[in-house]
Chains A and B, each alone.
Chain A
């Protein structure tokens, strides 16, 4: 409503300086618009993760629970995370493919911690549209996504299908030989 106030004073009236008059209207309108714009920020920011959600962003996990050749799916930041204890054969297969042509090239070594090649920890959501892939499907011995047929190898790298990127390796660290802190 108020934004039409400027237009109404365009016809010159007796006496006062038109440029000074316009300045007052423009300043008032700019101040009102600036205030409204500032007020919008709290209304937007309230939808970002709240303080209690942000506080739960890291988790610890005991690796002794996972036998060789097994995988445990844990929930981290509300999403699945695959913790896989890989067999020697799986590691060998992944390393052998390091130089194969891939959509998102990465060596197997870059996806695990040094000296801990058997522990593969990757995000459990397909990088295509977020479905949860199942292990043991597809021709690369890794994961297969049932939604749109993306195929990942034993290192969680995308090898076939619509997904653009490898399964994400989260930020994590070994606290002891058998305990990791994720996040």
Chain B
């Protein structure tokens, strides 16, 4: 009986855990395309070349509207980051990081006069935001707020797959769908199109309207490592970069986890042997 009960309990537990997922999958949007990422699985790591390309896409395209305000320049040179180099364990000394930081201007206060000034960023600074505040961001984007990208890959149920799918998911709106001004039809963007649909009410098209125009196109960014700059390549690379930005400790976490699990399995084995020895001569 107990064995049966435990099987039921285990199955029930899985059911409850699994139940969260489907309910949250965005209303009406297509399920995100599945991309194979280098950071998946228990031994996954970031592909540094990909992160560098992704950073370039962010820097040349996304950063015009999207902030990255939780990430500091020094993070680029941290272990697992796009510009990590063994020679510079302290990312503040990393010359690539310093050079990138210098190209950005950040707000500061002049210590002498108290005036608001701009100065070149240092590795300790965070990425400056393209807009001064939320109202300014909305005013420049037709009322829509471009979300901060620091945590975007964790703030969407399907993670980097979702980002990849949205930036590659623009198609022409089907006939009968009224696209509002400033909106773009996207099959992977969450939304409810029922009110904009004049066709068969049983077959409302999937997806929603997104304020962002298709941001990427082939050849838009030139990759320094010679990789062909296709739309898919750019989308994949920037999604990977954003996953790194959201979870920079991913590699450290997975590597630590492997050691911890091996230790715990060994410990459980030893404790089991100890338990069996103690109980050897006791009936129970």
Q: Do these two chains interact?
A: yes
Residues of chain A having any CB pair with chain B under 8 Å: 5, 8-9, 13-14, 16, 21, 24-25, 27-28, 31-32, 35, 51-52, 54-57, 65
Q: Does A31 contact B267, Cβ atoms closer than 8 Å?
A: yes
Q: Pick the residue among B72, B74, B270, B281 that contacts A28 (CB under 8 A).
A: B270
What's the minimum C-beta distance from A160 to chain B, rounded to whole angstroms?
35
Q: Mark B246-284, 1 if CB is under 8 A from A, else 0.
A: 000000000000000001101100110110011011000
CA distance A5 to B277 in the complex (A): 11
Indicate if B92 sits at the interface (CB-CB under 8 A): yes
DSSP majority for the A interface?
helix
Question: Closest B-chain residue to A27, C-beta based?
Answer: B270
CA distance A27 to B263 in the complex (A): 13
What's the minimum C-beta distance from A7 to chain B, rounded to whole angstroms?
11
Q: Does A21 contact B74, Cβ atoms closer than 8 Å?
A: no
Q: Which residues of A contact B273 (CB under 8 A)?
A: 24, 28
Q: Pick the residue among A14, A24, A25, A65 that contacts B112 (CB under 8 A).
A: A65
Question: Closest A-chain residue to B123, C-beta based?
Answer: A55
Which residue, B78, B124, B266, has most C-beta atoms of chain A within 10 A?
A: B124
Residues of chain B having any CB pair with chain A under 8 Å: 72, 74, 78, 92, 112, 123-124, 263-264, 266-267, 270-271, 273-274, 277-278, 280-281
Question: Closest B-chain residue to A42, C-beta based?
Answer: B256
CA distance A25 to B124 in the complex (A): 51
* Contact A5:B274 (CB < 8 A) given known A31-B266, A65-B112: yes
CA distance A55 to B125 in the complex (A): 9
* Contact A31:B270 (CB < 8 A) given known A55-B72, A55-B92: yes
